[in-house]
Amino acid sequence: MSEPTADETGVVLRRTPQQARSKARLARVLKAAERVLVAEGVQALTTTRVAAEAKVSVGSLYQYLPDRDAIIDALAATYFSQLEAVMEEFVRSAATEQWPDPVGVLIDTYAGLYRTEEGFRALWFGSGLTDRTRETDREHKRRMADGVRRVLLALGIAGDSEGLGRACHAALLAADALAQEAFRRDAGGDTALLEEAKVMLRGYLTAIAGRQEHGDA
């Protein structure tokens, strides 16, 4: 059997579709899997159930996603890709805009994504994450942290250093944990906890800038 490969979005597949029709079929399958995930939970993500929802044969699905773990990994990679695309847009915008409250803008935007992406919440708050998904998530968080670093550089808030990268990674991990807890408490996001996250990260950002000014970063 050939080794799994990743498509252009980072989704790991048993085979990568080459033709437009095959790519469209795979996209339809992943949308169907997301519907099943939201309505019935992670344990319902069997190849039989997803194939039925997508109205494709199990054999057709198996070419790309042979089991539940593969479906979970593919959905997670799709969500990570969406989040990283938003971060890249922040990096581009930071080069030309001066936000009075960049922390608030970042948290409010990502909170908005948590609200609208039911599949992401259903996957992340379920109990079926795979080892591959957890490792992919660690890599995803490192990329997101690097995005935060590049935003700070573009805004002129901090100078580049090894310490800045480490601090951005720590800030990203803290913000992610608080965001997840806010949405575990309330599907719309616990507003008070999200506001506390902003206060914490603004303070940390000020501390990072202060360290750099004193040559400690």
- Check which CATH number belongs to the domain holding 153 and give it: 1.10.357.10
**Residue 217 reports pLDDT greater than 60:** no
Q: Are strands 12-13 and 5-6 parallel, antiparallel or unpaired?
A: antiparallel
* Structure tokens given for 78: 């799709």
State the chain's mean pLDDT as an integer: 86
**Vertex 119: Cα angle to 117 and 125 (nearest 5):** 105
More confident residue, 100 or 35: 35
Q: Are residues 113 and 42 in the same domain?
A: no
Q: What is the mean pLDDT of residues 129-134?
A: 91
Confidence band of 86 (pLDDT split at 50, 70, 90): very high
Cβ atoms of residues 197 and 173 within 8 Å: no
Cβ atoms of residues 107 and 201 within 8 Å: yes
Q: Are residues 22 and 128 in the same domain?
A: no
pLDDT in tens, 32-69: 999 999 999 999 999 999 999 999 999 988 888 999 99
Q: What per-residue confidence (pLDDT) applies to 205? A: 83
Tell me which residue range forms the domain holding 116.
76-213
What 8-state DSSP symbol labels residue 18?
-
- Check which CATH number belongs to the domain holding 39 and give it: 1.10.10.60
Is position 56 within any domain?
A: yes
Number of domains observed in the structure of the chain: 2
Q: What are the Cα distances from residue 95, in Å, to 83, 155, 200?
A: 19, 7, 25
Q: What per-residue confidence (pLDDT) applies to 4? A: 45
**Residue 9 reports pLDDT greater than 50:** no
Alpha helical stretches, state H, the chain: 20-40, 47-54, 58-62, 68-94, 102-116, 118-124, 131-155, 162-185, 191-213
Is position 47 within any domain?
A: yes
**What contacts 9, CB < 8 A, 6 or more positions away?**
77, 78, 81
**Residue 125 reports pLDDT greater than 90:** no
**Vertex 167: Cα angle to 165 and 172 (nearest 5):** 95
Least confident of 70-74, 103-107, 128-132: 128-132
